């Protein structure tokens, strides 16, 4: 297991399922859950959070400075067929700590881990266009709009418009 990735603004640690109830409590409305995980039915429960972590990616908890409880969660997932391409998923910040720049700190740490330790050449994510705070956060982290796409998350609803964002590793 790797050492936690830290910088002056926080630290990433591997997900500990003891914090699944904490992460689940950060999502309080169906809209928040749609933005975070459109295939997950409301309400978000600890078992649903744990289920996310059973996939092929690497889930992380984000801690600011020396705090004992996490204030964020996010994942790095390898893209199928391209080990040099990582996907950021399920980025969420404690509901009481939003709009303080923590999402940017978490996203920057995830990106740094992908490019550094995981050897990625490209990192991508998708966001709903009506999730303005997340879209602004990712753009401030250096992500660029790559494409518009439509995804169907269940058979009852029409395809949803998404914005795909990406960032490439700096040339060495």
The residue that leads in pLDDT, 67 or 161, is 161
Question: Number of folded domains in the chain?
Answer: 1
**Position 8 confidence tier, pLDDT thresholds 50, 70, 90:** low
- Are 102 and 62 in contact, with CB atoms under 8 Å apart? yes
User: Does residue 114 lie within any of the structural domains?
Assistant: yes
CATH number at residue 93: 3.40.630.30
User: Does residue 138 lie within any of the structural domains?
Assistant: no
In the prediction, which pLDDT does 141 show? Answer: 97
In the prediction, which pLDDT does 135 show? Answer: 97
- Burial class, 147, CB count within 10 angstroms (exposed 0-12 / middle 13-18 / buried 19+): exposed
Segment 74-94 mean pLDDT? 95
Question: Is 90 exceeded by the pLDDT of residue 123?
Answer: yes
The residue that leads in pLDDT, 23 or 171, is 23
- At which residue do the structure tokens 């059973």 appear? 54
In the prediction, which pLDDT does 116 show? Answer: 95
User: Does residue 130 lie within any of the structural domains?
Assistant: no
In the prediction, which pLDDT does 2 show? Answer: 57
User: Does residue 74 lie within any of the structural domains?
Assistant: yes
Q: Name the average pLDDT for the chain.
A: 93
- Full residue range of the structural domain in which residue 12 is found: 5-121
Question: Is 90 exceeded by the pLDDT of residue 156?
Answer: no
User: Does residue 132 lie within any of the structural domains?
Assistant: no
Segment 141-164 mean pLDDT? 94
In the prediction, which pLDDT does 154 show? Answer: 86
| CA–CA distances in Å: residue 171 to residues 61, 121, 122, 137, 138 | 29, 9, 12, 24, 21
Segment 57-76 mean pLDDT? 94
User: Does residue 149 lie within any of the structural domains?
Assistant: no
In the prediction, which pLDDT does 1 show? Answer: 47
User: Does residue 157 lie within any of the structural domains?
Assistant: no
In the prediction, which pLDDT does 171 show? Answer: 78
- Distance, CA of 135 to CA of 115 (rounded, Å): 21
User: Does residue 148 lie within any of the structural domains?
Assistant: no
Question: Is 90 exceeded by the pLDDT of residue 170?
Answer: no
């Amino acid at each position: 297991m790797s050492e936690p990735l830290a910088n002056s603004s926080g630290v990433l640690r591997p997900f500990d399922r003891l914090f699944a109830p904490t992460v689940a409590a950060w999502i309080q409305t169906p809209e928040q859950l749609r933005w975070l995980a459109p295939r997950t039915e409301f309400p978000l429960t600890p078992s649903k959070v744990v289920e996310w972590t059973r996939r092929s990616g690497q889930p992380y908890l984000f801690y600011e400075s020396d705090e004992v409880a996490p204030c964020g969660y996010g994942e790095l997932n390898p893209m199928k067929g391209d080990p040099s391409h990582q996907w950021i998923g399920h980025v969420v910040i404690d509901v009481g700590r939003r709009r303080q720049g923590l999402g940017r700190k978490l996203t920057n740490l995830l990106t740094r881990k992908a490019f550094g330790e995981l050897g990625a050449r490209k990192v991508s994510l998708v966001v709903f266009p009506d999730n303005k705070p997340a879209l602004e956060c990712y753009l401030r982290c250096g992500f660029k709009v790559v494409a518009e796409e439509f995804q169907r998350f269940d058979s009852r609803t029409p395809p949803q418009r998404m914005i795909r964002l990406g960032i490439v590793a700096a040339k060495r």
